[in-house]
Amino acid sequence: MRLRAISLVVGALVACGAASASGPPNAADLEAELVCPVCETTLDQSTAPVAQRMKTFIRVRIAAGDTEQEIKDALVDEFGKGVLATPPRSGFGLLAWLLPLAAVLAGAIAVGLLIRSWSRRRAPPEDELPLDPQLDRLVDEELARFDT
Amino acid sequence: MAHRAILVAQGVAVGLVVLLFILLAWTLLTEEGGDLAAAAARGDRPQAPDFTLERLDEEGELRLSSLRGKVVVLNVWASWCIPCKEEAPFLEQVWQQNRDRDVVVVGLDAKDFRSDARRFMRRFGLTFPIVYDGPADAIGGYGVTGFPETFVIDRDGNVVKAFAGAVNTKEDRARLRAAIEQALSS
């Protein structure tokens, strides 16, 4: 039952992704992903004249049938890579995506090692470990001899 | 084994922090912006940072240092900047009046669309060399904080005077002409 629910959710997400990828780009989405070169906030937050001009440019290019990537590439050609709110997933920009993942992984490993280290420290000392059954029996026999 | 791994992890973490501090210090030490206009105002004549940029008035690129031996009036502008529109006809006038005296007016269009810049050039009939710096990488060294700004650079590539804001008043225009004469005579 749970598996079916998960597969339904995953299927819906994939369908949404496919639908958004195939449709025309959304101006509001693009404005949230691009930065105004003057005030350095995203376009949707900016009222600077150049930001207004960029918003117009985006709408004109959408109407002309450009894809999201084509519009971003055109703006990078004019204003440089700094116009992208998120770094590119290639070249040096890839580091910005990989470093946080590497940091999380390193943190998880460090936490794992710490837990392992603490659990070892809390293990009973060797002299408290149970005796070997044969040795235990021999000790009992010897002690019994003293009792008699 | 686990102890050694923890030590290695701690070493890596400390190394990363040290690396970040070095990057921060390097950024702060190499940042030139902001002081150029102040240095010129004190009479220090700081070196104008060199650049090579795409031209908008014709094909090819322009390197600032290729103009050594001439006085350069470098004007940083953008088509969306309203004071730049008021200033543009005066700069064309300065160019026309001084182009035979080893004076070159260079327009540097930044944070702008090329098409808008070209439309601006046509509208105001600008005929002096104009370069394009969409990402504003080249003007970082000049410490430009707003548009327009104008720098008068002498024959050796040193900044004689910097004007923050439009050179629109009678007094400012007289000061710009005086700075050109000063640069020519030095």
Span A52-75, pLDDT tens digits:
999 999 999 999 999 999 999 999
Contact status of A111 with chain B (Cβ, < 8 Å): no
Query: In chain A, what residues touch B78 (CB-CB under 8 Å)?
Result: 50
Structure tokens at B159: 């900044």
> Which of A67 and A118 is assigned the larger pLDDT?
A67
Q: How far is CA A79 from CA A144, B44, B184, in A?
A: 93, 33, 35
Q: Is the separation of the CB atoms in B76 and B148 below 8 Å? A: yes
Q: What are the pLDDT digits (tens) for A25-44?
A: 999 999 999 999 999 899 99
Q: Is the separation of the CB atoms in B111 and A38 below 8 Å? A: yes
What phi and psi, each to the nearest 5 degrees, are found at residue B108? Answer: -120, 105
Do the Cβ atoms of A57 and B113 come within 8 Å?
Answer: yes
Check residue A91 and give its pLDDT: 76
Do the Cβ atoms of B111 and A110 come within 8 Å?
Answer: no
Check residue B156 and give its pLDDT: 96
Contact status of A84 with chain B (Cβ, < 8 Å): no
CA–CA separation, B2 and B66 (whole Å): 62
Q: Residue B120's closest CA among B104, B137, B132, B138?
A: B132
What phi and psi, each to the nearest 5 degrees, are found at residue A117? Answer: -65, -45
Do the Cβ atoms of B136 and A37 come within 8 Å?
Answer: yes
> Which of A12 and B81 is assigned the larger pLDDT?
B81
Structure tokens at A131: 């005796």
> Which of A114 and B175 is assigned the larger pLDDT?
B175
Query: Testing the interface with A: which of B112, B114, B137 to mutate, by most A Cβ within 10 A?
Result: B112
> Which of A59 and A5 is assigned the larger pLDDT?
A59
What ipTM describes this predicted complex?
0.77
Compare all CA atoms of chain B with the CA of A111 and give the residue at the minimum distance.
Answer: B6
Nearest C-alpha of chain A: how many angstroms from B89? 22
Check residue A139 and give its pLDDT: 85
Q: Report the share of chain A in percent with pLDDT over 70.
A: 77
pLDDT averages per 10-residue partition of chain B, 186 residues: 71 84 74 69 90 97 97 97 96 97 97 97 98 94 92 96 94 96 92
Q: Give the pLDDT band of residue A104 (cuts 50, 70, 90).
A: very high
Which DSSP string corresponds to B126-162? --S-EEEETT--GGGGGT--SS-EEEEE-TTSBEEEE
Check residue B23 and give its pLDDT: 82
